[in-house]
Structure 1
Amino acid sequence: MAGIVENTLSQSKLPKFFNELENFSVNDSLKPDPYGLRLAWFQRDESSLLLDKIKEYNFQGEIAERIRPYIPTDYPLEITSNVYFVLTGWEWGDAMVRKITKTDDYYRVMEQGEPIIIVNLSIITNLYGDDIDTLLNDNISQTITHELFHLVFANYQSVSSSWKNNSDTTKIGQLVEIVQNEGIAHYISHNQKQNLIKNYNTSNELKEHEVEAFKQLDIAVKQLLNPELSNQEKDNILMKSNSGRYWDKFGAIAGKFMVYHIEKEYGEQAIQKSLSKGAYYFLELYNKVQSENSELPILPEELKERIKY
């Protein structure tokens, strides 16, 4: 069985940020740089220019319209969220949703607190080039769309009786939620919906990525059910399902393709309904589509067994 389990640097082993800042030397390229200080230094000019453009840009309308068709109609899309643009952070964390509280003039990430969106400008400018207008319109706007969907959906889950009563907190349940949640977020942002509609039927490359994502999903399911693996190893699998290089995020990528096939067959309202009815209903929809199209990748048998018809 191919190994997905990888050792990761736990938060308890990370050096303190302020110690790293005090000892930072841009010329010391051999020293580990867990907070991306070196990248922030090299990208400082591009990040500054991009931030100036961001301050003049009105994101609200277009971003809300991208996610609106997928939010259940019984839930008002009236959420206010602060967006924090930062220069340092985790190497794969170009953007994320977190909850924060302010304590002693410091913002701290906590389990409870104000839900916010964090965008790392150093990573964005490094990954996507130095054309500021393109970065603003094609990357920042789309990235915030992705994260705003997560924030709105999380808020919906917190007030939905269906999610409260039927949430599966097992490792498999967590993976299934990642597939649905991240799959939709990936699909509706960064022009992925348009890309799949236009190119899926003619692109062998897209289909190869799809097959590989489902292959890794099957491996992950079997590993999560393996009693010989520790909780930490299983948590690493869950993290890898949605972190790292784009096509390596097998949970998100498999979910993105599922969204495409479900929407193609049943329309946007089916995806919207899956947010109300839960992640296993999302799998049920895909399984129905796949059962009528044998060319599509098959769900892991262990997940099929958990679908409630």
Structure 2
Amino acid sequence: MSVSTHGDLGRGLDGLAQISSKILGAIESVIEGKPDVVRLALTVLLAEGHLLIEDVPGVGKTMLAKALAKSIDCSVRRVQFTPDLLPSDITGVSAYNQELREFEFKPGPVFANIVVGDEINRASPKTQSALLECMEERQVTVDGRTYPLDAPFMVIATQNPVEMEGTYPLPEAQRDRFTARIAMGYPEPAAELEMLDVHGGPSPLDRLQPVAQDGDVREMIEVVREVHVAPALRGYAIALVAATRNHPELRLGASPRATLQLVRAARAYAALDDREYVLPDDLQRLAVPVLAHRLLPTAEAQVQRRSPEQVVAELVERVPVPDHRR
């Protein structure tokens, strides 16, 4: 089934709701007991963003990334990041063709609709930076030539906490290109028990069949772009982001890119709720996953064990909510 965006937005939203429900159901057949995490992952896809999944080993980070990728019938490539991985291993390389007597570009794994980067912070910062251009500009430049990437394009990266052995912290510029960061968290006992039953046999990931096409996703993204954001709510998003730049416990606040991605994510979140307009609640729910990973706390805040997530949550409570109905 394909979403039709010809006509009014309501018809487009109906199609989006049907297909997104199928995608969510497919992912949740693999990831038990994490509906909020799964919904946020789909929100990032429809917001034309990239997702960073950070948590301790063994809680299903890679499984979530694979389930989202497999639920959509599109090109998917997986990159296992290791300390010896080179930038050309990701972007591709120009190799000399003896028969043609000229250099020929061999595309790397980044030339896919969904790129799953497993344990991204185990590679060196130089290799991590190979993703910067393609994540922001949807293109790759190799040896002076630029190659466009097909839409939809999404990087889903997993990483272990920085305290884990053999990890490199992601540079600020890299983190800023991820629309949202989520943590899987440990499953509830009931979900873990169900997981033991389900995963006792063949992996549910092997049974997962695509429920949408890449064309469906492109059309869903077009619907999301038309979701209305009132001027007052645009000002509210700017106020939330600006508050991080003046906070005494933060030495680096969120960038203008963060404001743009917060509004894009809010549009997608509203569309998944079958709404043609964004509410303040959408911005408030997304503020922590969209903003917190971009912030750097001061040394004093670190000593006091104050996390960026706590700071953003307090700012959401403090920044006045506008009357968006005017």
TM-score by length of 2: 0.25
The answer to which structure, 1 or 2, has the higher relative contact order (CA under 8 A, 6+ apart) is 2
Structure showing the higher strand proportion among its residues = 2
Structure showing the higher helix proportion among its residues = 1
